[in-house]
Structure 1
Amino acid sequence: MLKRVLVPDVVGLPFHVGRDIADEAGVTLANPDPDGPPIGAIAWPGLFYITWQDPRAGFELNQGDSVRVEVVEHGGAQNGALTRDPSGPPALAAHAQTEADTV
């Protein structure tokens, strides 16, 4: 029987941090376009933030399943920082602006 794991919330995180959190949870991050390049190739080189994920945090998957994510390069959104809202398009936050200034 396959082990079930909970999908972590990775929206708003830098890609490299979200990837590590997903790995620890037992899932992998993937490009939402199955015919496109691997998500790791899209998010390298540079600093990319995760702007969307499917399925949402808290959803149960089989260990090793994929979570589709979209990323934006730092500076691709205003100040390059996003809030953690997986339900829709990325929203900017005042505290994120401070974090972006320190990156």
Structure 2
Amino acid sequence: MTPSGARWSGESEVPELVGLTVREARNVGHQAGFVVTAADVDGPPLGELTWPGIWVVTGQAPSPGTRLRRWENVVIEFEKRSGDGSGGVREPRRPLPDPGMFGVELDPTE
């Protein structure tokens, strides 16, 4: 067997994918010699299911450390990470609130 043929045969250990983004999981899985896929292999491609946004792997089968023939499927479960990390809209509201609007809530005797 040639060294390049070794990449296509034999077994490899399934890596830990939970906690990675789907993009990272696909790269790590590919480097280990596996195809990372969604549960419905006949459905839309993983890239289509996880676009747009940031999606995080929440489960995988088989579990990490399992030995499989190279280029077999590793099925992942994933969910969209809430928020985009921007912290919301930071622009001032228009029109600006009336500066005296909150004055009615103040008790000047206190």
TM over 0.5: yes
User: Unaligned regions of 5+ residues in structure 1, if any?
Assistant: 81-99
Residue of structure 2 in register with 1:60 after alignment: 67
Choose the corresponding residue for 1:25, options 12, 19, 32. Answer: 32
Choose the corresponding residue for 1:41, options 21, 40, 48. Answer: 48
User: Which protein has the larger Cα radius of gyration, Structure 1 or Structure 2?
Assistant: 2
Q: Distance in 2 between matches of 1:42 and 1:18?
A: 14
TM-score (norm 2): 0.64
Secondary structure of the residue aligned to 2:60 is strand
Q: Distance in 1 between matches of 2:79 and 2:19?
A: 10
Q: How many residues align?
A: 79
Q: Once superposed, what is the RMSD of the aligned Cα atoms?
A: 2.2
Match of 2:30, as an amino acid?
A: D
Q: Distance in 2 between matches of 1:9 and 1:3?
A: 20
Q: Distance in 2 between matches of 1:15 and 1:51?
A: 10
TM-score (norm 1): 0.68
Report the Cα offset of residue 31 of structure 1: 1.1
